[in-house]
């Protein structure tokens, strides 16, 4: 067949969009050339149901080595005792954990989606809200911070089988120790979903769930800057309802239960090309260069939140401890939907987002979520943040002025177009 120009022209167009625009979506990043190379490699051709050394297909010796490297690197990165790198996504990782730890109808206590949680933490539109009995905790209206008294109250009232600590739109630290105390008080399993801050956690720049939580899930494509995918981990040497230490029989049983929750429980053949790309990304994340990157992501987020507040924007919780922030646009008279749709015309990509105690629907929303992982990969520093916020502000303050939107887009092209991104 001739080269599929229809698709490759679109790939080229998307590449140019990524190069020229300002990528502020908090859950996105740009992988390195070697991560891309591994993800696009011949490993996509291989079936490898099972796990290294125990496969249901022949010819898996090489992919066994690849998957083992991915596991070993992830263990080193997160100081973990157990890792499963096969989940195709963060949602698949959560699905696998729930399927092993819960029975249909069991109660789960998660972070309210409209306060910052994720769909898979019990939203009624997701399997987690349909199959299980979801109850929620939220943030304090005045501070935007997690209300731990509410977490405790809900845990004692609802007796959940599992508590989920993790978020898609929360800019502050999680107190995993406190979550663990509450989980122990009611005999619940504590799951941390570190999908967003995993890169910061890997480099010790924000609180680490692994020493406190029974099970941890993550995506591999956000701050950790790998290919799209998921992962399940368990930490080392902590008391756990399944046994004393991971070496003990009960915990070993938990590792094999989790493995079977992924395959054959919820997935078939693993994506070994993606697992290879995960291994490359974990190798990169183990370097000091990645530490410098993550430090810069945090510095940029702090500078960006300050620049927004200086211009009168309402940053939920008054700042950020991590790589992202949530902006409540109600005092600007603009909805999240309007902001997202107009910013994209200037080639600034953000996503509309519910803010805590939002009075608008999830299709409209009162806020936008903004993050610095992608622009930091492009080399922007804290001194550039005022300019970046100036671009966003110019559009939001002139939401119907096409000439300002066009001018902003041209300035963004000038700023971003010359910055290196992909080599191939």
| Positions marked active-site | 47, 49, 193, 219, 222, 228
**Using the rule CB under 6 A, is 267 a contact of ligand PLP?**
no
> Among residue numbers 51 through 110, which ones bind ligand PLP (CB under 6 A)?
89-91
Judged by CB under 6 A, which of 193, 272, 284, 328 binds ligand PLP? 193
Nearest to 94 by CA among 149, 153, 168: 168
> Among residue numbers 226 through 255, which ones bind ligand PLP (CB under 6 A)?
230
Phi, psi values for residue 261, rounded to 5°: -65, -35
Look up residue 152 and give its two tokens. Answer: 């405790």
- Integer Cα distance of 344 and 36 in angstroms: 25
Which of the stretches 37-45, 141-149, 162-170, 287-295 binds ligand PLP when contact is defined by CB under 6 A?
162-170
Which of the stretches 99-107, 163-171, 248-256, 310-318 binds ligand PLP when contact is defined by CB under 6 A?
163-171
Q: Are 173 and 161 in contact (CB under 8 A)?
A: no
Minimum Å gap between C-beta 52 and ligand PLP is 23
- The sign one gets for the Cα dihedral 298, 229, 111, 166 is negative
Q: Are 385 and 300 in contact (CB under 8 A)?
A: yes
In what helix (H) or strand (E) does residue 213 lie, and over which residues does it extend?
A: none
Phi, psi values for residue 187, rounded to 5°: 70, 30
Q: In what order do the strands lie in the sheet with 107-111?
A: 80-84, 230-235, 215-219, 189-193, 162-166, 107-111, 133-137
For ligand PLP, the closer CB: 230 or 261: 230
Which of the stretches 155-163, 192-200, 319-327, 412-420 binds ligand PLP when contact is defined by CB under 6 A?
192-200
Nearest residue to the partner ligand PLP, using Cβ: 90
Minimum Å gap between C-beta 299 and ligand PLP is 22
Please state, as a whole number, how many other Cβ atoms lie within 10 Å of the Cβ of residue 192.
27
**Using the rule CB under 6 A, is 376 a contact of ligand PLP?**
no
**Using the rule CB under 6 A, is 128 a contact of ligand PLP?**
no
Which positions make up the binding site for (6S)-5,6,7,8-tetrahydrofolate? Answer: 113, 117-119, 361-363
Binding site for ligand PLP (CB under 6 A): 27, 89-91, 118, 120, 166-168, 193, 195-196, 219, 230
């Amino acid at each position: 067949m001739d080269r599929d120009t229809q698709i490759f022209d679109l790939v080229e167009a998307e590449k140019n969009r990524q190069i020229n625009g300002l990528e502020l979506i908090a859950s996105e990043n740009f992988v390195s050339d070697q991560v891309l190379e591994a993800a696009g490699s011949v490993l996509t051709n291989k079936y490898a149901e099972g796990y290294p050394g125990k496969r249901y297909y022949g010819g898996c010796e090489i992919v066994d080595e690849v998957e083992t490297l991915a596991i070993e690197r992830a263990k080193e990165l997160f100081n973990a005792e157990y890792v499963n790198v096969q989940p195709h996504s963060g949602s698949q990782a959560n699905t696998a954990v729930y399927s092993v730890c819960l029975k249909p109808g069991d109660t789960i206590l998660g972070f309210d989606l409209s306060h910052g949680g994720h769909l898979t933490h019990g939203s009624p539109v997701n399997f987690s809200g349909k199959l299980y009995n979801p109850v929620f905790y939220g943030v304090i209206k005045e501070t935007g911070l997690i209300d731990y008294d509410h977490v405790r109250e809900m845990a004692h009232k609802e007796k959940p089988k599992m508590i989920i600590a993790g978020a898609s739109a929360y800019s502050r630290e999680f107190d995993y120790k406190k979550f663990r105390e509450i989980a122990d008080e009611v005999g619940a399993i504590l799951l941390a979903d570190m999908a967003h801050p995993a890169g910061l956690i890997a480099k010790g720049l924000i609180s680490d769930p692994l020493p406190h939580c029974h099970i941890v899930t993550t995506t591999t494509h956000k701050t950790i800057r790998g290919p799209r995918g998921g992962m399940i981990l368990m930490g080392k040497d902590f008391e756990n309802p399944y046994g004393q230490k991971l070496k003990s029989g009960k915990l070993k049983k938990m590792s094999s239960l989790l493995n079977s929750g992924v395959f054959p429980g919820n997935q078939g053949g693993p994506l070994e090309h993606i697992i290879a790309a995960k291994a490359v990304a974990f190798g990169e994340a183990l370097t000091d260069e990645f530490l410098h990157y993550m430090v810069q992501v945090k510095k940029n987020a702090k500078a960006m939140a300050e620049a927004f507040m200086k211009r009168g924007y309402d940053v939920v919780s008054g700042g950020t401890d991590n790589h992202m922030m949530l902006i409540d646009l109600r005092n600007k008279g603009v909805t999240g939907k309007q902001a997202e749709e107009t910013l994209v015309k200037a080639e600034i990509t953000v996503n509309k987002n519910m803010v805590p105690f939002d009075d608008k629907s999830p299709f409209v929303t009162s806020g936008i979520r903004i993050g610095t992982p992608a622009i930091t990969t492009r080399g922007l520093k804290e001194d550039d943040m005022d300019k970046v916020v100036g671009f966003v502000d110019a559009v939001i303050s002139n939401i119907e002025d096409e000439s300002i939107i066009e001018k902003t887009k041209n300035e963004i092209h000038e700023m971003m177009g010359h910055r290196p991104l992909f080599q191939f």
